[in-house]
Amino acid sequence: MSAVHVRHPPHRFGLSSRSRSRSPLCPVATSSMRRSRESKPDARSAAAELCSRCELLVQRIESFALMRPDIEGIDKLARAALRERHFAASLIDSPDPARGIQGCENNLRGLSLELECAEWAPGVTAVRKRFATRPPSLGAKFGDEEVVEVDVVAQEGLLWIECKAESVLSSNIVPQALSMKRVSKASCNRRCFGKAPKIVVYATGTLGDTEAGFLSDAGISVLSALDAKTEYLPKLPSPTKTANLDITALFALVSEVTNGGATKPISEEITSWAERKPQHAACLRAEMNEPLNLAAELARYDSLIAHPSVIERFHDILHTVGGPKERQRWEETWQPRIKVVSPREDGDVKAEGIAEVRSLERAAQVRSLSRLSPQQLDPFELGDVAMARTFTANGRAVSSAAEQGVFLETYVHRAVWLVGL
pLDDT in tens, the chain (421 residues): 444 343 444 433 333 444 344 444 444 444 444 444 445 668 888 889 999 999 999 999 999 999 999 999 999 999 999 999 999 999 888 888 888 888 999 999 999 999 999 999 999 999 999 998 877 655 556 666 688 999 999 988 889 999 998 766 666 788 889 999 999 988 788 777 777 899 999 998 877 788 888 898 999 998 988 888 888 888 877 888 999 999 999 999 999 999 988 888 889 999 999 999 999 999 999 999 999 999 999 999 999 999 999 999 999 999 999 999 999 999 999 999 999 998 764 344 444 444 444 466 777 778 878 888 888 899 999 998 888 999 999 999 998 888 887 888 899 999 999 998 8
**CA dihedral of 66, 70, 72, 75, whole degrees rounded to 10:** 20
Tell me the C-alpha distance between 168 and 164, whole Å: 9
User: What is the distance in angstroms between the CA of the first residue and the CA of the last residue of the chain?
Assistant: 132
Whether residue 155 sits in one domain with residue 58: no
Whether residue 287 sits in one domain with residue 204: no
pLDDT of residue 227: 83
CA distances 383 to 93, 101, 240, 342, Å, are 61, 53, 11, 10
Whether residue 140 sits in one domain with residue 98: no
Whether residue 365 sits in one domain with residue 261: yes
| Total tally of structural domains belonging to the chain | 3
Last residue in a domain, options 178, 211, 232: 232
CA pseudo-torsion sign 187, 304, 374, 277: positive
Whether residue 160 sits in one domain with residue 212: yes
pLDDT of residue 141: 66
Whether residue 395 sits in one domain with residue 253: yes
> Beta strand 338-340 with 389-392: parallel, antiparallel or unpaired?
unpaired
Whether residue 81 sits in one domain with residue 48: yes
Whether residue 155 sits in one domain with residue 208: yes
Whether residue 310 sits in one domain with residue 269: yes
Chain CA centroid to CA 200, Å: 15
pLDDT of residue 108: 94
Q: Answer yes or no: pTM beyond 0.75.
A: no
Whether residue 400 sits in one domain with residue 305: yes
CA pseudo-torsion sign 167, 172, 176, 181: positive
Nearest-Å Rg of the Cα atoms of the chain is: 32
Instruction: Assess if residue 154 is contained within a domain.
Output: yes
Instruction: Assess if residue 5 is contained within a domain.
Output: no
| Cβ atoms of residues 186 and 147 within 8 Å | no
| Cβ atoms of residues 357 and 349 within 8 Å | yes
| Cβ atoms of residues 191 and 407 within 8 Å | yes
Whether residue 171 sits in one domain with residue 81: no
pLDDT of residue 234: 81
pLDDT of residue 138: 53
Q: Which domain holds residue 395?
A: 242-412
pLDDT of residue 180: 94
